Chain A
Amino acid sequence: MIASAPLLRVDGLHKRFGGLTATDAVSLALAPGELHAVIGPNGAGKTTLIGQLTGEIRPDAGRIGFAGEDITRLAVDVRARRGLARSFQVTSIFAGFTALDNVALAVQAHAGHSFQFWADAGRDAALREPALAMLDRVGLGARGDVPAGNLAHGEQRQLEIAMALATGPSLLLLDEPMAGMGREESSGMVDLLAGLKGDLTILLVEHDMDAVFALADRVTVLVYGRVIATGPPAAIRADPAVRAAYLGETGGGGVGP
């Protein structure tokens, strides 16, 4: 996996909030096509890390390289246009728009500028057709006309993924895509992500260990903002430091199935 130049390269990232070190000398490298999971107990700094990768949070020190360029200081929307897409831990959709409009808007974000004032975007085949195809791909093909706010929770999570995919990214940051899902919905999401594997480089932050170990090529474990281990799933599962960190938190629930 390490043979080619990494698509995402994080070097010595630091972030403090007052007295709390949320990100402590984090370094990561994602090879093109890799599905890399980041796990860790609550408060380990996973979401803060995602925030720095997307540009919502400015790191105190360190460097983020993406596709060979330094993006540490770039704004959120600039990074997104360069091919870095994300999903949100708490579902973040346009509740008043239909599901199809949500995805069409994501397509539009990467279809040139939007200073087009006259033509009806709702009848724009260049937006609607790719959007419909994407809804189909995530299994929402029949739900396009439903207001996104009226979709079931699991469907909204699928819509999140469809929107991220519709921007045609090279790197997908998924912040707990299974959050709040039932067992059946989760397994649907695992199938969906497994289908994406290989085409895309994916950084997956997830609590669902079954999903992580089923999907990930490599796993990085964060504890108190610090990377305590990185490696293939089998090695992570056997790592004593990882076991200690998780056993310490859950008092019995081990890592993995």
Chain B
Amino acid sequence: MGRRERIVQLVGLAFLLLLPPLATATGQPFYISLFTRILVFALAAVSLDLILGFGGMVSFGHAAFVGIGAYVVGILFFHQFENSTFLGLPGTVNGLVVLPLAAAVSALCALVIGAICLRTRGIGFIMITLAFAQMFFYLFVSLRRYGGDDGIALWGRSEFGGVIDINDNVTFYYLVLAILLGFLVMCRRLVRSRFGMVVRGARDNERRMRALGFPIYRYKLAAFVIAGAGAGLAGALLANATEYVGPAYMTWSRSGEIIVMVVLGGMGTLVGPVFGAAALLLLEDVLAEYTEHWQIVLGPLLLIVVLFARRGLYGLILGRPGGPLRR
């Protein structure tokens, strides 16, 4: 890591750590919720970068895993509230149960979906991941019990046995930040490990990897599952952030937004997608005040990044734009 990159990361981290007191001091606590939302989407985007940027797998259904994670929280809340059971299990709002469970259920779904999708590549992979995400979308729309189209409104956030209270926005913000940082550290180790070298090698030259003796399918599938788990965790946090769960979380346009965050921020950089998520959601927040057609500005911005800065905003900040986006 270069000196400049280290400085950028430290400044970014300091900003994120200091944001809640700054927002409170300046009487703008609204920014704490906005940045919580940014960090949640950053987590989803970083998890997508793992397979998109490092594995070359253009998954157009990543929002499905976010939605599944959110529904784990929503459905367990629902049964706790109704005092009924789900497949014989009682509902719960215990965060130490629902957050890991959301990651695990999304990982399991990613295992099944990935096992099928990874038999295709290129445009076929894009289309089949999209198709699976749409299937999940319509599945949850049709689940009347869980609100169908309307989803489930949560009455409060997950509980952590009184240790921390995330109904407090500042506490919740720091919890999300800690999870995001933990995931980033894990991913950074991952892409440099033996496993990461296989996934990156398969992105660059799959044929060569096979000829060297790597059974690459299982490694790509493992990466897909890890990404699914990260997205599921993001979904569980999103459910808590909005205190709402609905099928809208898994629309194909949501999957597209997560891709945009990755590409805008910088594919294959891990930290870049955090900048991408911030850029997209801040842009939306600022421009939506003036026009509901705020994406008119987003379009050209994305175009410029794709044409001139392969490493996205993060590459621009580091002074290493990396030329046009190829592949």
B213 interface neighbour in A81, A121, A124, A127, Cβ under 8 Å: A81
Are B212 and A106 within 8 A (Cβ)? yes
Are B192 and A121 within 8 A (Cβ)? yes
Q: How far is the CB of B188 from chain A (nearest CB, A)?
A: 10
Chain A residue with the shortest CB-CB distance to B215: A77
Q: If A116-B193, A116-B195, A117-B189 touch, does A77 touch B201 (CB 8 Å cutoff)?
A: no
Q: If A77-B216, A80-B213 touch, does A105 touch B207 (CB 8 Å cutoff)?
A: no
Contact with B along A72-107 (1 / 0, CB 8 A): 000111101100011010001111110001001110
Would you call B204 an interface residue if the criterion is a C-beta within 8 Å of the partner chain's C-beta atoms?
yes
The interface residues of chain B lying within 8 Å CB-to-CB of A163 are: 212
| Complex alpha-carbon distance, A47 and B201, angstroms | 24
Are B190 and A120 within 8 A (Cβ)? no
The interface size of chain A toward B, counting residues with CB under 8 Å, comes to 37
| Complex alpha-carbon distance, A56 and B319, angstroms | 42
Contact with B along A147-188 (1 / 0, CB 8 A): 000000000000000010001000000000000000000000
Would you call A109 an interface residue if the criterion is a C-beta within 8 Å of the partner chain's C-beta atoms?
yes
The interface residues of chain A lying within 8 Å CB-to-CB of B212 are: 77, 80, 85, 105-106, 109, 163, 167
Are A77 and B193 within 8 A (Cβ)? no
Q: If A105-B212, A109-B213, A109-B214 touch, does A116 touch B207 (CB 8 Å cutoff)?
A: no
| Complex alpha-carbon distance, A110 and B213, angstroms | 7
| Complex alpha-carbon distance, A101 and B215, angstroms | 19
How many CB-defined contacts (below 8 Å) exist between A and B?
91
Q: How far is the CB of B270 from chain A (nearest CB, A)?
A: 15
The interface residues of chain B lying within 8 Å CB-to-CB of A75 are: 210, 215
The interface residues of chain B lying within 8 Å CB-to-CB of A124 are: 194
| Complex alpha-carbon distance, A106 and B210, angstroms | 11
Are B210 and A76 within 8 A (Cβ)? yes
Are A118 and B189 within 8 A (Cβ)? yes
Are B205 and A92 within 8 A (Cβ)? yes
The interface residues of chain B lying within 8 Å CB-to-CB of A117 are: 189-190, 193, 195-196
| Complex alpha-carbon distance, A55 and B189, angstroms | 34
Chain B residue with the shortest CB-CB distance to A119: B193
Contact with A along B197-225 (1 / 0, CB 8 A): 11011001101111111111001001000
Are B192 and A114 within 8 A (Cβ)? no
Contact with B along A205-248 (1 / 0, CB 8 A): 00000000000000000000000000000000000000000000
The interface residues of chain A lying within 8 Å CB-to-CB of B198 are: 105, 108, 114
Would you call A115 an interface residue if the criterion is a C-beta within 8 Å of the partner chain's C-beta atoms?
yes
Would you call A43 an interface residue if the criterion is a C-beta within 8 Å of the partner chain's C-beta atoms?
no
Q: How far is the CB of B318 from chain A (nearest CB, A)?
A: 17
| Complex alpha-carbon distance, A76 and B207, angstroms | 9
The interface residues of chain A lying within 8 Å CB-to-CB of B200 are: 97
Are B210 and A114 within 8 A (Cβ)? no
Q: How far is the CB of B158 from chain A (nearest CB, A)?
A: 28
The interface residues of chain B lying within 8 Å CB-to-CB of A77 are: 209-216
Q: How far is the CB of A16 from chain B (nearest CB, A)?
A: 23
Q: How far is the CB of A235 from chain B (nearest CB, A)?
A: 33
Q: How far is the CB of A113 from chain B (nearest CB, A)?
A: 9
| Complex alpha-carbon distance, A108 and B192, angstroms | 13
Are A54 and B204 within 8 A (Cβ)? no
Are B204 and A120 within 8 A (Cβ)? no
Are A114 and B208 within 8 A (Cβ)? no
The interface residues of chain B lying within 8 Å CB-to-CB of A109 are: 209, 212-214
| Complex alpha-carbon distance, A96 and B210, angstroms | 18
Would you call A122 an interface residue if the criterion is a C-beta within 8 Å of the partner chain's C-beta atoms?
yes
| Complex alpha-carbon distance, A110 and B211, angstroms | 12
Are A118 and B211 within 8 A (Cβ)? no
Q: If A77-B213, A77-B216, A109-B212 touch, does A118 touch B193 (CB 8 Å cutoff)?
A: yes
Q: How far is the CB of B261 from chain A (nearest CB, A)?
A: 23
Q: How far is the CB of A59 from chain B (nearest CB, A)?
A: 18
B196 interface neighbour in A94, A106, A110, A121, Cβ under 8 Å: A121
Are A92 and B197 within 8 A (Cβ)? no
Q: If A77-B214, A114-B214 touch, does A92 touch B194 (CB 8 Å cutoff)?
A: no
Q: How far is the CB of A233 from chain B (nearest CB, A)?
A: 29
Across the A-B interface, the 7 shortest Cβ-Cβ residue pairs: A80-B213, A109-B212, A109-B213, A81-B213, A116-B194, A76-B210, A114-B194
Name 30 interchain pairs, CB-CB below 8 A, sorted by A: A75-B215, A76-B210, A77-B212, A78-B215, A80-B211, A80-B213, A88-B208, A92-B205, A92-B211, A94-B201, A95-B204, A97-B201, A97-B204, A101-B197, A105-B201, A105-B212, A108-B197, A109-B209, A109-B213, A110-B213, A114-B195, A114-B214, A117-B193, A117-B196, A118-B189, A118-B190, A119-B193, A120-B189, A121-B196, A167-B213
Q: Which residues of A contact B (CB under 8 A)?
A: 54, 56, 75-78, 80-81, 85-86, 88, 92-97, 101, 104-106, 108-110, 114-122, 124, 127, 163, 167
A-B contacts besides A114-B197, A117-B196, 16 pairs, CB < 8 Å: A77-B212, A77-B213, A80-B210, A86-B211, A94-B201, A94-B204, A94-B208, A95-B204, A97-B200, A101-B197, A106-B212, A115-B195, A115-B219, A116-B193, A117-B193, A119-B194
